[in-house]
Structure 1
Amino acid sequence: MTLSREQKYRKLNQASPEELEQLKEQVASCPWRQSYHIQPPFGLLNDPNGFAFYEGEYHLFYQWFPLGTFHGMKYWYHTKSTDLAHWENVGIGIEPGDPQDSHGAYSGSGIVKDGELYLMYTGNTRNEEWRRLPYQNLAIMNREGKITKRNEPVIAVVPDGYTDHFRDPKVWRANGEYYCVIGAQRTNGTGCAVMYKSQDLLSWSFLGEVSTGLDDFGYMWECPDYFELNQQGVLLFCPQGLSPEGDRFQNIYQSGYMVGKPVDVRTQKFKHGLFQELDRGFDFYAPQTTETPDGRRILVAWMGLPDVGYPTDHNGWAHCLTLPRELTLRDGKVIQQPVRELKHLRKEEVTAEAVLHNETKSFSGLQGISYELICEFADADAECFGIEFRAGNADKTVLAYDRNTKKVILDRSLSGETIVTDYGSERRCSLDSEKIKFQLFVDTSSVEIFVNDGEEVFTSRIFPSMESTEIRFFAQGGSVTCQASLWKI
């Protein structure tokens, strides 16, 4: 479907009360609304933004186009939480339409300064020739929750050597000064990240490009994020334009990181290891992190991808955010685990254990639509073992470990309503371990899988029938011991 510019860049106040009511009715009738994930009231959600702890609460914004499930005029929508588990919708945080963000308030980040929350974001604008003019802007939230945009951009010009694909500032403070990384595209059509420096978040000076060993790695780097863990520097970013390599880079766009010595802010040099994917699943993009008051590094991402259609598009809404994950480093690898606060979501527990011999087995009380499931497999001589969940007569999502290839496999080919299959219906990664632990957070239309306490993670949207509530455990070509605990959410 070809959309006009007027359709793509309509504002919320241009919709009639009847149109908004119809949108809300469409959403209310959708069977795949999530029960404990952040999701839009209607319309399209994408990148998480402005993630910060401020005045006793976690504030998390996301990109929102209210009037459709395509990427149109973007707002920042505001949610908040005291515990990272239960989230409250606040409403629109940043409304676009001023000269510095006339065609959308694009992604950015948040940082606390002088008792206020500073939100730095990219303003999307277009001139009369429809040429993109990106501005880096600032909005400030006070203790009462009022957000005020500054009238003038804080970075108004794209430096020489880069195109108008220049966006997504992520800010941090070090040694009494402020720094930010911005995703960029060089004029030769390759992606990179650049750095700026400021004393006050208002006046910024261009430092240069983050010097990496990746001079030709995709055509654009979106959503960069830099932080330090265990005296190591970690650069997250989303390179667009990578070709698949074996089990790697199987999605339309990728999200990943590099670990190395902390960035030298004087020279912008970053000595790092290999680029590694953050998530092995189907639906994960634009991650953003923040630091908790007790020093943990927490990540949230968009559970979706650009340029991919989803079944809920027909119901007037699209996408959600992942659950918050705590990041740690182990041997140069980022380990992701669900934040401990998510235990607050647990209700009654049901347990089961068995030895499976060339069979598929279910257990009383282990089923549902919305739950956390921890399953441990050991003492295996089976060739393949695992779990079928959200299963029924026609549906099942399969999570398996293949001992011959030493790979974890997620198969959503029978997961219900079809999502675009241009990029396949299986995801795999290598894992050499005698014991396999799967921790699943299953919601109405998604699953987040943490393998061996976060050594690998698979995130996926699934759209099964509401009658598909079974959980089945299986072993093929031998036996395996299995212990499982399920908590309703």
Structure 2
Amino acid sequence: MKSSSQALIQQAKEKINEMKLLVANDPYRLDYHIMPPVGLLNDPNGFVYFNGYYHLFYQWNPFATTHGAKFWGHVFSKDLVHWHQAEIALAPDQWYDKNGCYSGSAIVNKEKLYLFYTGNVKNEQGERESYQCLAISEDGIHFEKQGPIIHVPNGYTGHFRDPKVFRKDNTWYMVLGAQTMEKKGQVVLYTSPDLREWNFQGPIAGSDVGELYDFGYMWECPDLFQLNGADLLLVCPQGLSPQGMLYQNIFQSGYFAGEVDWKQHTFSHGDFVEMDRGFDFYAAQTTEAPDGRRLLVGWMGNAEEIGSIQPTENNGWIHCLTLPRVLEWKSGRLIQKPVKELEKLRQEEVRHVAVVVTEDELLLPKVHGSVFEVKVDVHAFQAKEFSIHFGESSFHYNIEKKIATFTRLKFSGEGKEIRQCTLEELESIRIFKDTSSVEIFLNDGEEVFTSRVFHDLNREEIYFHAEEGQVKLDVTKWNLKKVTEY
């Protein structure tokens, strides 16, 4: 077993060394986001605090910028800002995970770190098989696989994956993304006294569960937790058709809020709400910090459009993770804010108070760059529309229509594309721009736009504009440190 794993890991290391120079010379390598050393990164996995460090794993194909047999890459951090590469945690080297160690989660039990993941297998007939698997570590770095602990129950297809494990009232729980034999998406629940013997409790949410019908053909990456009295189920339904400004990406990422009956194993909930309004956000996973905060990291990606190629693929890598965010439940909605620790990135502060923006393009002294944080507080909105422009991207708010819009250059470089949401009023904007990403937080996290962007990095101007009137702002801007090591 060890020799097979060691051989795969050695091949991955050789690929990193082979591509190291090409990857390092890519101008779109990020300065303060988690990204793969080479190849393709997607879902964040196993977000957990263990032995004084935050650990974060991610789906990783080191051999290509396309999806394939996934490994678990691994980074760790003391402060959620400075992340360090660890040894590869899991490699697809066993009969039950030979076609990929798919997504999952981590928990701490008896001073050991437990990883739960989906083993993906394609049998001789080309059919998908999936097994929920366990691996255990004493040091948080080296893991011993324990093999499958759950097989697909009757009534479900091989699309049965992404175990998220948590503890409540002396019982271990697991939620899993699933697809019924009728091709309908659900989240199912298991319980366990010891993390090894698991009891199937049935679906708690999904198509044909409660009053919800035909809401996607597969639900992925579930996460269930309580926040300020509300039970929140994060999930990624696949197969939703666009509805106006909603569901514009190929696959969606959002949440249901309600109340779980832990005795009956049922979940009464409201409507599905998208978590992010940008182009690139999916497969979010949370953990509880030592101070009680509920933290979230997502994949800054989504299913690829046919024919869409990101520029970094030419340099041997693709995708990254979002910044860590802290979640709050306020007035019946989920709020996402950048974690306070990110203030460690700030340098060279520039502040402009009581700025009046008119129809003339306004450039402020020392407010420019390609890697920055900008905070804008709106004091008086007396215009039809207000916008901020940076590189080939822009943010707009139309007060008459109450619509917020993010615009970016298409990856092909030919034309622009937009994502939108409704917003009753605009009070504040906070933008984190990295070399090839942007995360925009509106009204202290009420709405978020997350997207990859590939600008001309020589275009560093940031300008402000108003239509049919004026807007008064306070603007603070920081350059942000480069902290990535790879």
Q: Same fold (TM over 0.5)?
A: yes
Out of 138, 145, 152, which is 1:158 matched to?
152
The one-letter code of the counterpart of 1:295 is: G
The one-letter code of the counterpart of 2:296 is: L
DSSP-derived class of the 2:313 partner: helix
> What RMSD over aligned residues (CA atoms) do the two structures have, in Å?
1.7
Which residues of 2 match residues 3-82 of structure 1 at below 5 A?
Answer: 11=8, 13-14=10-11, 17=14, 20-82=16-78
What's 1:147 paired with?
143
What's 2:176 paired with?
182
What's 2:262 paired with?
265
What's 1:371 paired with?
372
Please state how far the C-alpha of 1:46 moved relative to its aligned partner: 0.3
The one-letter code of the counterpart of 1:366 is: V
Task: State how far apart, in whole Å, the 1-side matches of 2:339 and 2:104 are.
Answer: 23
Task: State how far apart, in whole Å, the 2-side matches of 1:487 and 1:471 are.
Answer: 13
Task: State how far apart, in whole Å, the 2-side matches of 1:144 and 1:12 are.
Answer: 17
DSSP-derived class of the 2:344 partner: helix
What's 1:4 paired with?
none
The one-letter code of the counterpart of 1:436 is: E
Distance 1:260 1:139, change over 3 A: same
Deviation per CA, 1:232-285, whole angstroms, max 9, x where unpaired? Answer: 110000000000111110001000001011x22332211111100000000000
Please state how far the C-alpha of 1:344 moved relative to its aligned partner: 1.2
Deviation per CA, 1:425-466, whole angstroms, max 9, x where unpaired? Answer: 101111112x43110110000000000000000001000112
Out of 190, 197, 202, which is 1:196 matched to?
190
Distance 1:469 1:379, change over 3 A: same
Please state how far the C-alpha of 1:359 moved relative to its aligned partner: 1.4
The one-letter code of the counterpart of 1:258 is: F
1:407 aligns with 2:408: no
What is the count of residue pairs matched by the alignment? 466
Please state how far the C-alpha of 1:160 moved relative to its aligned partner: 1.1
Please state how far the C-alpha of 1:307 moved relative to its aligned partner: 2.8
Which residues of 2 match residues 249-264 of structure 1 at below 5 A?
Answer: 249-261=247-259, 263-264=260-261
Task: State how far apart, in whole Å, the 2-side matches of 1:419 and 1:436 are.
Answer: 32
The one-letter code of the counterpart of 1:191 is: G
DSSP-derived class of the 1:210 partner: strand
1:171 aligns with 2:165: yes
Please state how far the C-alpha of 1:370 moved relative to its aligned partner: 1.2
Structure 1, unpaired ranges of 5+? 1-9
What's 1:447 paired with?
438
Distance 1:13 1:86, change over 3 A: closer
The one-letter code of the counterpart of 1:432 is: E
Distance 1:479 1:137, change over 3 A: same
Which residues of 2 match residues 276-355 of structure 1 at below 5 A?
Answer: 276-308=273-305, 309-353=309-353, 354-355=355-356
Task: State how far apart, in whole Å, the 2-side matches of 1:91 and 1:196 are.
Answer: 31
Please state how far the C-alpha of 1:298 moved relative to its aligned partner: 0.5
**1:445·1:463 contact (CA, 8 Å) conserved in 2?**
yes
User: Quick check: which one's strand share is greater?
Assistant: 2
Task: State how far apart, in whole Å, the 1-side matches of 2:247 and 2:230 are.
Answer: 25
Out of 228, 252, 255, which is 2:226 matched to?
228
Distance 1:336 1:275, change over 3 A: same
The one-letter code of the counterpart of 2:433 is: V
What's 2:83 paired with?
87
Which residues of 2 match residues 387-426 of structure 1 at below 5 A?
Answer: 387-389=388-390, 391=391, 396-413=392-409, 417-418=411-412, 425-426=417-418
The one-letter code of the counterpart of 1:305 is: N
What's 2:271 paired with?
274
Deviation per CA, 1:379-413, whole angstroms, max 9, x where unpaired? Answer: 12211112101x2xxxx211011112111110113
Same amino acid, percent of matched pairs: 48
Task: State how far apart, in whole Å, the 2-side matches of 1:142 and 1:371 are.
Answer: 39
**1:58·1:84 contact (CA, 8 Å) conserved in 2?**
yes
